[in-house]
Amino acid sequence: MKLIRFAQQAKIKILFVQIYRANQAWFSSQVGDSAPYEAALKTLKEDPFAFLIKEAHSAGIEVYAWLNMLSLSTNEAAPILKKYGPDILTRNLEEKKTLADYKIDNQYFLEPGDMRVRKELVSMVEEIVRGYPELDGIQFDYIRYPDSHPRYGYTPANIDRFKKSTGLKKVREGSRAWSDWKRAQVTELLKLLIQSARSVRSKIRVSATGCMSYDRALQEAFQDWPSWLNKGLVDFVTVMNYSADPKEYERWIGVAKTKVSDLKRLYFAVGAYKLVHSPEIFEKEFRSCEASGSGLCAVFHYGSLLENVALERPLQSED
């Protein structure tokens, strides 16, 4: 298959393969909408993800299931949304008259502090690990609050849990207690997902994506990804260093390197999707990643390389 041949030529070690997004599943699932999986199965006549794992392993390449956890994108037909209704979507304090009022940055976000959300996502992770015993690892993406005007988390259930946990009678936007609470909800969700995966296979590797800039991650997405690394919660973090400015890209690398104790467990991503028409900038950033001393350079994503083959040059060269 073309992807495997390309990965071999580029000496790629890991393929992060997106099999879950917007509550749609490219595997057999009782949690997500399996229509994409069923369509692919009908065409290929065998499980498409199992086939890819087999082909990748025969080429000496690892495969991670890449899962977009808390974003439903624009999918108003998401099974989890139909099952529980909009109360499971994180929200601000503005009045909500229609479902569209819950959209944030043109997508619907699940509330990480909602116990129903956690139960469904934990079950989904178990489905994957049980269904693919040869899978090398899982990459948890969208483990965060929305970071566009970050005044979210105001679901009735989340507020009730906050008050009972802290003893506070009201939520003060921007307060340390409220910010720490939201950060804790994100980390607790990640812990549950990892426990779920490792309850099935204790040795499976787990990773998460981290937002950049660091201030954005910590103060807006409420995502303390350095602590996930430094406390050993995950095997590595893939930092989404998506900038179209090579100087900013290097600056963010510098900041990230000061936050972790083991640089080899920090993987820097390059946003090829932003640079489809700027292969020279993509190459500069890829070279910066290579020179950073991090454990791996990740490219988001393969589809962008197909759009402009000029982006492939730094991956194929021996420099």
Question: Looking at the domain assignment, is residue 1 inside a domain?
Answer: no
Question: Looking at the domain assignment, is residue 207 inside a domain?
Answer: yes
pLDDT at 150: 75
Q: Are 217 and 254 in a shared domain?
A: no
pLDDT at 319: 52
Question: Looking at the domain assignment, is residue 126 inside a domain?
Answer: yes
**Contact between 221 and 147 (Cβ < 8 Å):** yes
**Contact between 50 and 130 (Cβ < 8 Å):** no
Read off the amino acid at residue 153: G
Q: Are 222 and 250 in a shared domain?
A: no
pLDDT at 316: 85
Q: Are 135 and 233 in a shared domain?
A: yes
For residue 240, give the H/E element and its range. strand 236-240
Q: Are 283 and 156 in a shared domain?
A: no
Region 99-108: what's the mean pLDDT?
A: 94
Q: Is the pLDDT of residue 318 over 70?
A: no
| Four-point Cα dihedral 153, 156, 157, 160, nearest 10 | 100
pLDDT at 47: 97
pLDDT at 113: 97
E strands within 163-212? 205-211
pLDDT category of residue 105 using cuts at 50, 70 and 90: confident
Question: Looking at the domain assignment, is residue 6 inside a domain?
Answer: no
Higher per-residue pLDDT: 319 or 165: 165
Instruction: Please give the mean pLDDT across all residues of the chain.
Output: 96
Q: Are 226 and 257 in a shared domain?
A: no
| Exposed / middle / buried, residue 280 (Cβ in 10 Å: 0-12, 13-18, 19+) | exposed
pLDDT at 260: 96
Higher per-residue pLDDT: 163 or 150: 163
Q: What is the pLDDT of residues 189-242, one digit of tens each?
A: 999 999 999 999 999 999 999 999 999 999 999 999 999 999 999 999 999 999
pLDDT at 149: 77
Q: What is the pLDDT of residues 49-99, one digit of tens each?
A: 999 999 999 999 999 999 999 999 999 999 999 999 999 999 999 999 999
Question: Looking at the domain assignment, is residue 90 inside a domain?
Answer: yes
pLDDT at 184: 98
Q: Are 187 and 289 in a shared domain?
A: no
Spatial CA neighbour of 187 closest among 143, 139, 240: 143
pLDDT at 214: 95
Q: Are 175 and 288 in a shared domain?
A: no
d(C-alpha 111, C-alpha 69), whole Å = 11
pLDDT at 147: 75
Which residues constitute the domain of residue 205? 13-240
d(C-alpha 212, C-alpha 21), whole Å = 21
Q: How many domains does the chain have?
A: 2
Region 156-172: what's the mean pLDDT?
A: 97
Q: Are 108 and 224 in a shared domain?
A: yes
pLDDT at 317: 67
Question: Looking at the domain assignment, is residue 2 inside a domain?
Answer: no
In degrees, to the nearest 5, what angle opens at C-alpha 162 toward C-alphas 160 and 167?
100
Q: What percent of the chain has pLDDT over 70?
A: 99
Q: Are 204 and 305 in a shared domain?
A: no
Question: Looking at the domain assignment, is residue 4 inside a domain?
Answer: no
